Structure 1
């Protein structure tokens, strides 16, 4: 083993000054080691309002708050022992002096100087001891530092102890951190026993020794919620709650507050002496849910009535079990919808109100703001959540549906982002199928015809006004976008071509100033298939750009079903009824040509169709009703369509030659709202051709 080598030092060396400081000096100069930060900090917490709670960032002085709370905690420990029913607190008008009084049994008056001026003195060191029922003691404090540290960092600290067993009372006054001490003679007392402490914190130690009235009131109300049945008074205000922390949840949101569970977990362990003992952990968990909120979850939690502002093991474990259980419950629905569920889908808008009372809680520091892992606590949490969460979720199937909807919305949002990027790229590329209008400066004057089939484009090419009219052809029926994912839509080349031609992007509103065409006109055959195509296009544009309907951009072009040749001219007729009226009018008809589709129309018929001043405009008076109608007609729930069709008699007869899909839209609109959709057109039923057909 090598030896330590010597060091060559130059000149004289000075020994370190070894000092011995007393408790008073140490706590007054190192108060942060006992009570935490001695500076004002921003803390995300809450304050109580007369009829609710406000979550906000508060100005918080950890050391001052903890110094006062240590005296309150002593009274709560007496309540745990079954000796206290009332705790009175008053704060002076100048906010510098606070008095805390309980009606417990007090303690031997000859122990007062030790309790309030000496560390490692107290009645809370029985970590391994059991009460009369055989359970380990449960207390707020265990270190014997709190009350003494408060006294030693106070300018004035007056303690009056009325000891129940000896029937004697005595008052001790400690000033300037107990540098000076005065006491009264012990004497018998009348009335309630207990302890009363009046203190003024040291300005030298705390810099500003004013106590926040709002935060002291908050602490007292917190204690009242944590200890149902125990009565608190603060400056004459009375606080007592029968249902405890569940009433706190109701105060946050009475409509959504629910009790998840409230029960005790009992376990067996061994103390340091090898003796078998029992421990009891009481759990409480309530939740509230704001369905409209997009904020992350909030926790209000207490361990042995102490607020755990910084969370810790109990937060993490309860949250993880809650999330995993919910995900398991909706796993099948998530697979069906082809979505993944993330933690925020479950937790958004939720507030957890948790209370734990247990033996020997282990905190990260003396400030008790963060709880660390404990094996028995872990078992207790798992047992508690296992017993109560299944029941809670069975009663809250709507919550599970909400989680699925959130996941779907999140996926849809991501798909919209992806679609937006792809749409921007598509805008820059030339659309091969587009028969574009030639106008370059004022595109607002341009109209795009979406035609059924390539054969229709041939007629459109020769009949159109090349400067202002463009066209693009569909192959077959377009996709039902309501039953497709956004990825399906952006991978559909026909839809991408239409969007690129017009200047539309999924996920972005249609800005009329930036569109390449101000009118989008559907031009399909006058048959059942043509009706299907038109309604599917209505669905496509309404799903992604409903504002186009408000702008009057979406329109129909009604192609003539008949071309009637007379001895003087060619007339265009749009329906069988109109043809019958024409026959009875006395006009001499030489020939009637029925057009089965756009491909069979004459150039004159095409020119007549395209040259109208206005087409049939689709407008929407009630967006919600229109959306509801399209959901019925195109959504995944087939039962809604069955109900609609079965209700046909009550909604009015629809002409048999109209397309079934169009028929469903018309009837559905009428059922949802008479003003949901309407069409307008200024075309006469029978029109003359611009020149006689040869």
Structure 2
């Protein structure tokens, strides 16, 4: 009998809990990543530990959480009730073990399935948990989920609570580093949703007095707001909203039980619907939903009994019921907004008037654009049949059930040689390429009309699929891949201007990046090292010894497809494009793209200083 036809008990194997997590980490924490993106796995590990601390705060135990990140080691300490001492090891290493199955203790908890800290444990090269309660302490240490040291109970005078330290495993999270901007944003969300909670991160305090109102103010410049933030609170719901003077699209921040549901869900759909219905009823006019919601900036938070999410990373709410005998999510949100927002508009006629003017303006703009939009759509439709600009990938961000959706990436390149290299070396499942023809138009100060009239912008908007709603975005990462010279820098600025002007939430929500490409290749017969800076070049020369061959890359087109795969694969280096809240979008655009040419030239020269020095040195 041939070997292949044998199928016995020996062929069947059960993975233990940690093997399964390590083999299929995406099922538990989404994508892996290196820390350059806000939804990379290392931040999800921190979030899983934090969620347990937050649940303690919600239960009234412990008002302060302390976090320290030194290098790759993360330590989180809460002052909650502490894990029951006899269960310290089980809680972090046995599946389906946790305190949240008893819904009396955790009525509106986030982590219901008890997987969180087990995943952190399994995916860390070092993991330590210590619980203190009743003047006693118990701790245990693990490596990749394996228990290596369990200490006996000891007497202590320390305050009660739980302390978790971990180092994400470098064999799983390659070349990672924590970015404080992403961590601070996550921590701010925690304090907005939990007024009264103090989080101390590496010595810096985070605290919120006014919940979601603070969130909108911290994420936007108040000069960009059309009217003062409307802030409404109920027993299980809180919302804050305003309209922007500058941005075209809708922007939402949504939360369930303290969880940032970046993909929205039933509560966000109900909110968007309820705002439209209430405003129509208030003015007694059947305005178009898109005109009412155009330029809205809003945050909504809901508390639900035993929420059902559409994935382990809890980015989209699937629940239709509030639980505990309450009505459906839709009815609850509709009733609350129908009463509270209506009352607010009656009491604040100035806001009501500004809002109505904004709706009428949106209506006028929509009608002006309708003809040109129709033409543009027909052009885009024809183009998409033979769209030479876009070489698409197979997996997109909108495919909720696909565990690689967060890896979906669109590279925006300039010129045929660069786009050819990326196209040949990319991962066709998750990486798409959009190639520009020369420099894009400077869209500074132009109206939305230009997006439809300019073929390149129209096709880019169609590729991203963000014309109707930001929720339909097809790629999680939009990467500008241009040469590291003056022309490349200018193209970057023109593209950033386009996104800032028409789709700023792509930047606000951390979807836009600049691709770092190596400046040098240093190699001998045995090894090749790609270097992204002078310092890396020096280190490579020292490492390879002798007289290695050094090549300076001047442009992306010079890099062969065989080599390019190293720069856009596992070792990809991305610089996130971030907005500085202190500067309004208008003033930011004016600085970069307005008439202050000397300032801008100085900015470009300063930012290219490293590049120019290297060229001169050579």
Which of 88, 96, 119 lines up with 1:149 in the alignment?
A: 119
Cα pair 1:260 1:389 within 8 Å, conserved: no
Of Structure 1 and Structure 2, which has the larger fraction of its residues in strand?
1
- 1:30 aligned to 2:24? yes
Offset at residue 26 of structure 1 (A): 0.7
The alignment partner of 1:149 has SS state of helix
Equivalent residues in 2 for 1:97-116 (5 A)? 97-116=73-92
- 1:261 aligned to 2:232? yes
1:135-171 CA distances to partner (integer Å, 9 max, x unpaired)?
x7111111011111111111101112111xx320122
Which of 226, 235, 238 lines up with 1:284 in the alignment?
A: 238
Offset at residue 384 of structure 1 (A): 1.2
Partner of 2:280: 327
Equivalent residues in 2 for 1:600-679 (5 A)? none
Offset at residue 257 of structure 1 (A): 3.9
Alignment partners' CA distance in 1, 2:91 and 2:109: 16
Q: Relative to 1, partners in 2 of residues 1:231 and 1:30: Cα closer, same or farther, differing over 3 Å?
A: same
Partner of 1:69: 47
Partner of 1:410: 366
Equivalent residues in 2 for 1:568-579 (5 A)? none
Cα pair 2:34 2:177 within 8 Å, conserved: no
Alignment partners' CA distance in 2, 1:416 and 1:206: 47
Offset at residue 61 of structure 1 (A): 4.1
The alignment partner of 1:78 has SS state of helix
Partner of 1:189: 156
Offset at residue 412 of structure 1 (A): 4.1
Alignment partners' CA distance in 1, 2:331 and 2:250: 24
Q: Relative to 1, partners in 2 of residues 1:260 and 1:238: Cα closer, same or farther, differing over 3 Å?
A: closer
Structure 2-normalised TM-score? 0.55
Partner of 1:349: 295
The alignment partner of 2:172 has SS state of helix
Partner of 1:588: none
Structure 1-normalised TM-score? 0.49
How many equivalent residue pairs? Answer: 361
Runs of at least 5 residues in structure 1 that lack an aligned partner in the other structure: 1-8, 42-57, 265-281, 335-340, 420-506, 509-694
Offset at residue 375 of structure 1 (A): 2.5
Alignment partners' CA distance in 2, 1:151 and 1:418: 54
Q: Relative to 1, partners in 2 of residues 1:102 and 1:15: Cα closer, same or farther, differing over 3 Å?
A: same
How large is the RMSD of aligned CA atoms in angstroms?
2.7
Partner of 1:199: 166
Equivalent residues in 2 for 1:164-183 (5 A)? 166-175=134-143, 177-183=144-150
Q: Relative to 1, partners in 2 of residues 1:243 and 1:181: Cα closer, same or farther, differing over 3 Å?
A: same
Alignment partners' CA distance in 1, 2:79 and 2:132: 9
Alignment partners' CA distance in 2, 1:417 and 1:117: 56
Equivalent residues in 2 for 1:7-406 (5 A)? 13-15=5-7, 17-39=11-33, 59-92=37-70, 94=71, 96-127=72-103, 130=104, 137-163=107-133, 166-175=134-143, 177-251=144-218, 252-254=220-222, 256-264=227-235, 282-293=236-247, 295-332=248-285, 341-376=287-322, 377-394=329-346, 395=348, 396-406=352-362
Cα pair 1:155 1:203 within 8 Å, conserved: yes
The alignment partner of 1:141 has SS state of coil
1:662-691 CA distances to partner (integer Å, 9 max, x unpaired)?
xxxxxxxxxxxxxxxxxxxxxxxxxxxxxx
Q: Relative to 1, partners in 2 of residues 1:40 and 1:257: Cα closer, same or farther, differing over 3 Å?
A: farther
Offset at residue 222 of structure 1 (A): 1.1
Partner of 2:509: none
Alignment partners' CA distance in 2, 1:328 and 1:253: 30
Offset at residue 87 of structure 1 (A): 0.1
Alignment partners' CA distance in 1, 2:371 and 2:52: 57
Task: Name which structure has the greater RCO, CA cutoff 8 Å, separation 6+.
Answer: 2
Alignment partners' CA distance in 2, 1:182 and 1:205: 23
1:559-598 CA distances to partner (integer Å, 9 max, x unpaired)?
xxxxxxxxxxxxxxxxxxxxxxxxxxxxxxxxxxxxxxxx
